[in-house]
A and B are shown apart, each in its own frame.
Chain A
Amino acid sequence: MAKTDNGIRIFQGLLILGNVVIGMCGIALTAECIFFVSDPYGLYPLLEATENDDIYAAAWIGIFVGFALLALSILGIVGVIKSNKTLLLVYIILMLITYAFEMASCITAATHRDFLTPNLFLKQMLERYQKSETDNNNDKWMTNGVTKTWDNLMLQNQCCGVHGPSDWQEYTSAFRMTHNDADFPWPHNCCVLDARGSPINLDGCKLGVSGFYNKNGCYGAISGPMNRQAWGVAWFGFAILCWTFCVLLGTMFYWSRI
């Protein structure tokens, strides 16, 4: 009897440990998703303008799933200690629902990450940056968002365009409609700016002398944070779900035996 008693205790201990890990991972998932939703790099307007901002939706779902995992893990621990069949059944069913939501979040984040190609951002930049005639309020909002975000990006990362300043020469753009090519081969925000925000050498910038204009493209500065967000939500969620799978199987086995 002592041996099976130990067996019970060990199995209960394992389930409790599993639930503790789930609870902690829930907190971590909530924290991670809050960090992403707060948009520390200010890139959300770019995604909003592409109407493809589902990696943010995935992060929002992640916040609530994290809380749910924390609450359910406590329920699970109580259920295992009391060996109460009803509590554990409730726990299992609610966990399955949370599982489904988290699965949706992971798949959404992973799928929409694949949409974020250089061409997508290039199209947005060419169509919206400093677009002067906007059709309606929504269009105006998105244009302002894109323009401000690109200005910030170019200033903070010392970059220009998606692949480089040649984007402005190679493709037609809304910017080109209002700014002639001789005075603005590329926007003046691509020039190296001084403390007051004006180019240090405008002629050098227009000529394309390195040191007076930003030669690099901004795609690295955009895709880096977005990839980290998408893969962070997707793979961490995947890891949690694999662990939850094991704990749920163990709990169902335990439920069937009590």
Chain B
Amino acid sequence: TMLPLLLLLLATAHGLQELQYVPTLAGTKLGGRTTGSTFVLEQPRCIFDSTTSGTDIWLVVASSTATVSFTDSVQPGTPQWAFQNFPANTSAYLTLRATLLHYPCPKASGEITVLRVGSETVCANNTSRPTCNGPLPSPGPYRVKFLSLNGSTPVAETRWSQPITLRTARQLPSGPEAGGRRSAGMIAITSILSILLAVLLAVLLAMLAFCGSDPCGSSSIFKPEAASIRRYNTHHVYDQPAARL
């Protein structure tokens, strides 16, 4: 009878409350949901209850392939959990320290309640700030969870999130930037204008070759002065004989 009691005591002494919440990325309406070195999580509102009221709620960021175990003592600020040592010398780090007061419940409607992981650039290389929320060094993938610590004793934790992969910038493919497809309008303009110019040149050459300086065709109706001069000449010829008489 003592053994079950002892086991029960051990379990309560361990006391790590496992919450079923899975941390998620913020909604898709945010344009900066994931960038090259940051990502945005939904705040864990109404997840932690009053048993965690005096504790610090930390965010644990780990590479998704690493296995991170929480032993009895998790000391934030030690090199084992420092941002600057991630991912070379440690597989996870702690950041974004908060208390239950930062995540009030219920969430006010219409508010955007998010956490931006990776927004602090000033302390990224400052080893005296091991809990810096610095930009993530590689596209990942990463997994996160929220951990509630009383000093260095874990009190409650959420589940691991789905793997989060960040965006990678690529080189712009040098596609058909110059010499795009020929549009129909351009082809129409070029061909029609060329034909018209050719016709004009042909008619000009024909005009110069065949008509030269004499009027073409039989009728010279287009030159009114020529007609009147001829009439004048005719008048003269008939006048002469009359005058001689």
* In the assembled complex, A106 has its CB within 8 A of some CB on chain B: yes
User: Taking chain B's interface residues, is the majority helix, strand, or loop, or is none over half, making it mixed?
Assistant: loop
Which residue of chain A has its CB nearest to the CB of B32? A208
The tally of residues in A whose CB lies under 8 Å from a CB in B reads: 65
* In the assembled complex, A147 has its CB within 8 A of some CB on chain B: no
Chain A residues whose CB sits within 8 angstroms of the CB of B29 once the complex forms: 210
- In whole Å, how far is B191's beta carbon from the nearest beta carbon of chain A? 10
In Å, the complex CA distance between A162 and B222 comes to 63
Chain B residues whose CB sits within 8 angstroms of the CB of A100 once the complex forms: 197
* In the assembled complex, A77 has its CB within 8 A of some CB on chain B: no
Which residue of chain B has its CB nearest to the CB of A126? B172
User: Do B186 and A111 touch (CB < 8 A)?
Assistant: yes
* In the assembled complex, A215 has its CB within 8 A of some CB on chain B: yes
- Identify the interface centre among A5, A11, A122, A238: most chain B CB within 10 Å of its CB: A238
* In the assembled complex, B84 has its CB within 8 A of some CB on chain A: no
User: Do A252 and B31 touch (CB < 8 A)?
Assistant: no
Stretch in A60-68, A149-157, A179-187 with 4+ CB within 8 Å of B: A179-187
Which residue of chain B has its CB nearest to the CB of A176? B169
Stretch in A21-29, A30-38, A40-48, A164-172 with 4+ CB within 8 Å of B: A164-172
Query: CB within 8 Å of A: which of B184-241?
Result: 185-186, 189-190, 192-194, 196-197, 199-201, 203-204, 207, 211, 213, 215-217, 219-225, 227
User: Do A110 and B185 touch (CB < 8 A)?
Assistant: yes
In Å, the complex CA distance between A5 and B221 comes to 8
User: Do A208 and B31 touch (CB < 8 A)?
Assistant: yes
* In the assembled complex, B12 has its CB within 8 A of some CB on chain A: no
In Å, the complex CA distance between A100 and B201 comes to 11
In Å, the complex CA distance between A249 and B197 comes to 11
* In the assembled complex, B88 has its CB within 8 A of some CB on chain A: no
> Digit string of B155-193 for contact with A (CB within 8 Å is 1, else 0)?
000000000000101111011111111110110011011
- In whole Å, how far is A49's beta carbon from the nearest beta carbon of chain B? 13
User: Do A185 and B185 touch (CB < 8 A)?
Assistant: no
User: Do B215 and A106 touch (CB < 8 A)?
Assistant: no
User: Do A248 and B200 touch (CB < 8 A)?
Assistant: yes
Chain A residues whose CB sits within 8 angstroms of the CB of B220 once the complex forms: 257
User: Do A255 and B197 touch (CB < 8 A)?
Assistant: no
Stretch in B16-24, B33-41, B57-65 with 4+ CB within 8 Å of A: B33-41
* In the assembled complex, B44 has its CB within 8 A of some CB on chain A: no
Residue in A171, A210, A254 whose beta carbon sits within 8 Å of that of B169 in the complex: A171
- Known contacts A107-B189, A115-B178, A182-B119; A258 and B215 CB within 8 A of each other: yes
User: Do B200 and A245 touch (CB < 8 A)?
Assistant: yes
Which residue of chain A has its CB nearest to the CB of B226? A258
User: Do A114 and B180 touch (CB < 8 A)?
Assistant: yes
User: Do A172 and B204 touch (CB < 8 A)?
Assistant: no
Interface residues of chain A, those whose CB is within 8 Å of chain B, are 1, 4-5, 7-8, 11, 52, 83, 85, 92-93, 96, 99-100, 103, 106-107, 110-111, 113-117, 119-120, 122-123, 126, 165-166, 169-173, 176, 180-183, 185, 203, 206-210, 213, 215, 231, 234-235, 238, 241-242, 245, 248-249, 252, 254-258
A-B contact pairs, 5 of them (CB 8 A): A107-B186, A107-B190, A114-B179, A180-B121, A209-B31
* Further 13 A-B residue pairs, CB within 8 A, beyond A114-B182, A182-B119: A8-B222, A99-B200, A119-B177, A172-B169, A176-B169, A180-B37, A182-B35, A182-B38, A182-B118, A207-B30, A208-B32, A209-B30, A255-B211
